[in-house]
Structure 1
Amino acid sequence: MPNLQDDRVEYWTNYYAARPASVQIMAQRSSKYIHYITQELERRNMPTELALLPFVESAYNAKAVSSAKAAGLWQFIPSTGTHYNLTQDWWKDQRRDPVQSTHAALNYLSYLHGFQDNDWHLALASYNWGEGSVKRARDRNANSGLGTDYLSLRMPKETRDYVPKLQAIENIIRNPDRYGIKLPHVPDQPYFEKINNTRDIDIDIAARLAEISVEEFRELNPSFQRSVLLGEHSPQILLPKHKVTAYKRNLKSHKGALSAWEGYTPAPGESLAGIADKYGISLAKLKSLNGYGAKQSVALSSRTLMVPRNSGAPAGITPDDIMAPAINTASPAMLASNANVIRASAMSPTVPAQVTAPAPSPAANSRPAMASASAVTVDPLADIIYSSGNNPALTAGVRAVPVAASSAAIPSAVSRPAVYKRPAVAVVAKTTGKPAVRTASLNKPAPKVAKKKVSVHKVVKGDTLYSLAKRYNTSVQDLKALNNMGSAALKPGASLRIPGAGSRG
């Protein structure tokens, strides 16, 4: 994919560079999925830079949901998810499935690339704004004798910033040292393995058999919306690759029931009261477990109910225990300040599912405008980065995290190793000669600083090593070396020694 040359790229590069802790957390999240996504891109001969798109879409949070109900790593809205065969029902939402949603997103992006005359920048604009909107903008420019490339089009601010954000993330991933950011190490090997399940099993038992926490199980399998996986659905579960052997061994030796629950498919017109009586639980509990309102009396024959495996609900189990944990939802304040971090992609529901599909109607949808960011004074990335499904207090609004938050808590281990050993694939842009995205080195020692005139800078809020390096015509590495610094954030009020070179003002 060709580099985009635009002032917005520098703006967003500086924006992310000023938030190293947030970038590190997003990168750590990506470590579970990025190898798989990159592999799929290589298999399809698509640009590997697209593996960075979930940074822009969802901050690499597979459980992310926007105010417009876009969900998952790739932020599919419900209608487009349905069009790309992503199941969305009471039991699961495949828009949040890392494997299924990746296949759907790459099918969609491949289609858009062909639809927009094999221009990746226009394909990405279409992913954000809708291909019909981009096509109409191109037609208007062509009729006026103007250019029809990405930078020539009139488009909403969010779409104008969309490709620059991706380019900014790419700039940082390629050369994190330049921007004073330390990325975790991601081995160039699969993180997870797919396992077919044909038996009813509770999620907590599946996690225990795999010798992982329920939280980690849900992180890899965020599409499951109930606490039991029904064998009749033949669900495919993802497990850490190094835990698959333990899971199979423990499953084989497990004694007793794998689930306290089972599925029941109602007959047409069957009453909920009769089903509750059959399974020995109260009508209110049956309704609560299965999402029925107080006034509903007849079961939906199209939806399998969750009922106790034995007569009566297990002791100590409440409806809240059965429901999937709360999904991280972007607050209005965060959406107003950084709509692209977690957003509702205006992906047209009329797009044909096959890459070779015909062009859609010009009435492809566009997305609503987002509110202004000027009223928000906290880090716009904070809500999506620090929100947690297990802590409702963090999802209630934007958490006030300092822009230059310390990165000390981030594991020091997302970049590929400098030597990439898969011989069959050359990960180098075909036309631009750019280095591969995955080759940024994290282990270069800080260069020795030549003796020269030194001045002192008083750190103020908002200063970063990258911004100061640009201001004083020096480098991040020189600043680190001169001040004997690691990766900790700058503290306002601290004195920073600056190599003697004229200020840029």
Structure 2
Amino acid sequence: MKINVLFASCILALTSFSAAAQQQRQQILSLQIIDTVAVPVLPETPTFYNHNYVFKARLDSIQKMVPLSYNEHVQKYIDIYSGRKDMMGKMLGLSEYYFPVFEKALKYYNIPEEIKYLPVIESSMNAHAVSRVGATGLWQFMFATAKDYGLNMDNFVDERKDPIQASYAAAAYFKDAYQELGDWLLAIAAYNCGMGNVKRAIIKADSHDFWEIRPYLPQETRNYVPAFIAALYVMKCSGQHQIKSQPTTFVKNTDTIQVSRFVSLPQLATALSIEADALCSLNPAYKKKIVNGTEEEPKRIIIPKVNMAQFAQIYEVLNNTELDVNPKVFLASNDDRRLKKKIVAKPVAAISYHKVTPGQTLSAIADKYQVEVQDLKVWNGLKSSSIVPGQKLKIHNPESSKRKQYAIKG
């Protein structure tokens, strides 16, 4: 059956990188590119009493290339995700559609299959997810990183939302990160906080073991890797936690077509006898619900498998329908919300004081003021990390000799 478009059961939409873009990869690896939207922040647990050897044995049994450590940090997230049965049931349902897409991209770059679980904690596998700082899509790419890994953002499309394109870009990032760090847990950490933060933590800890450098990483990243391991475990061992896969609205049997003209997704949905939202959910990258294909740059549409009865209507939409739309493409500007916050200059005191609140730890206070725990101990004559509510701690500011700019993160 031919309708002047190319049908295929599957397309590997490989990102084409120019030599210049490849050279820029290493620069972008040092940036904080991903802002997770689904990982709850938990306090540190000083002592671990509930070691569960059953969970450890299960993690050992499903481990492949990525180390699946078991400790108190992983256990806390196992408790959370195994308790969120409705959410994880939805993730299992969505995985039936998305995981084959992720797996093909990861396999192409020889990345461990286990990395396919990252979008569970990144975006709850929502292609339209946008974080507070502008990270977008299933893999939560920031604008600059997406551009450097070949993704296109303009007035018609945002390929960060394209499951295929974004998956290949994420796999390419992991290839670069692993070549730099030589460890998959460190590569996962870098995906969250950037290569620069991971390298600095390695130097401070004098170690390449994630669990040893963990105290020197940003708080979100300390939680990010344990959350990834826990989410992978809960999805792989869902039956042991009474979690059942929930059906999704995604059509599983699909075809891929390439079009070289503008096509309205709602009009095509009518021809396919499906809801417009259902077709748009298969093609989430198109901002205006219009596929702007051209002869020079055909565009992909994912559609449910068709039958002969729909042939005439589909042909009409794909070949003979004219749309009243301006075809001019405008490249999108950087949508990093952190760049839109005003930078306010303010004087910084040489010494300030912090009053300890209930539940605060020395580590949390050090993070707040961007200093080291050991410095806090020295400045305040502390022999241990024990502090009590109401206690005042002296904070030395190394930037006191000049005015420092503070940018508020959205």
What TM-score comes out, normalization by structure 2 length?
A: 0.59
Aligned: 1:177 with 2:239: yes
- Give yes or no for contact 2:156–2:290 (8 Å, CA) kept in 1: no
* Aligned AA (1:214): A
- Counterpart CA distance in 1 for 2:193 and 2:318 is 53
Question: Match for residue 210 of structure 1?
Answer: 272
303, 309, 313: which one aligns with 2:330: 303
Aligned: 1:227 with 2:294: no
Pairwise CA distance, 1:149: 0.8
Return closer, same or farther for 1:164/1:256 CA change in 2, 3 Å cut-off: closer
Moved over 6 A (4+): 244-247, 368-371
Question: Match for residue 75 of structure 2?
Answer: 10
202, 209, 222: which one aligns with 1:149: 209
User: Helix, strand or coil for the counterpart of 1:26?
Assistant: helix
Pairwise CA distance, 1:49: 1.0
Cα deviations by residue, 1:9-54 (Å, 9 ceiling, x for unpaired)? 1110110111101111222233321112123323433211111110
Question: Match for residue 48 of structure 1?
Answer: 113
Aligned: 1:33 with 2:98: yes
* Aligned AA (2:159): Q
User: Helix, strand or coil for the counterpart of 1:194?
Assistant: strand
Return closer, same or farther for 1:148/1:303 CA change in 2, 3 Å cut-off: closer
* Aligned AA (1:148): H
- Counterpart CA distance in 1 for 2:222 and 2:408 is 13
- Give yes or no for contact 1:58–1:73 (8 Å, CA) kept in 2: yes
- Give yes or no for contact 1:32–1:192 (8 Å, CA) kept in 2: no
- Counterpart CA distance in 2 for 1:221 and 1:150 is 37
Count of residues in correspondence between the two structures: 264
Pairwise CA distance, 1:214: 1.0
Return closer, same or farther for 1:3/1:185 CA change in 2, 3 Å cut-off: farther
- Counterpart CA distance in 2 for 1:108 and 1:35 is 19
Return closer, same or farther for 1:15/1:244 CA change in 2, 3 Å cut-off: farther
Question: Match for residue 124 of structure 2?
Answer: 59
187, 191, 198: which one aligns with 1:127: 191
Pairwise CA distance, 1:227: 3.2
User: Helix, strand or coil for the counterpart of 2:325?
Assistant: strand
Cα deviations by residue, 1:74-131 (Å, 9 ceiling, x for unpaired)? 00001111111111111110000111000000000111111102x0000000000101
- Counterpart CA distance in 2 for 1:14 and 1:20 is 11
Question: Match for residue 160 of structure 1?
Answer: 222
Question: Match for residue 89 of structure 1?
Answer: 154
Cα deviations by residue, 1:342-364 (Å, 9 ceiling, x for unpaired)? xxxxxxxxxxxxxxxxxxxxxxx
- Counterpart CA distance in 1 for 2:231 and 2:408 is 24
What is the aligned-residue identity percentage?
28
User: Helix, strand or coil for the counterpart of 1:262?
Assistant: coil
Pairwise CA distance, 1:247: 6.2
- Counterpart CA distance in 2 for 1:217 and 1:100 is 18
Return closer, same or farther for 1:191/1:159 CA change in 2, 3 Å cut-off: farther
- Counterpart CA distance in 2 for 1:182 and 1:221 is 27
- Give yes or no for contact 2:162–2:285 (8 Å, CA) kept in 1: yes
Return closer, same or farther for 1:193/1:8 CA change in 2, 3 Å cut-off: farther
> Can you give the 5+ residue segments of structure 2 that lack an aligned partner in the other structure?
1-65, 332-406
242, 245, 258: which one aligns with 2:321: 258
Return closer, same or farther for 1:103/1:254 CA change in 2, 3 Å cut-off: closer
> Can you give the 5+ residue segments of structure 1 that lack an aligned partner in the other structure?
266-301, 305-367, 372-505
- Counterpart CA distance in 2 for 1:65 and 1:255 is 31
- Give yes or no for contact 2:74–2:229 (8 Å, CA) kept in 1: yes
What TM-score comes out, normalization by structure 1 length?
A: 0.48
* Aligned AA (2:184): W
* Aligned AA (1:211): S
* Aligned AA (1:168): A
Return closer, same or farther for 1:78/1:249 CA change in 2, 3 Å cut-off: same
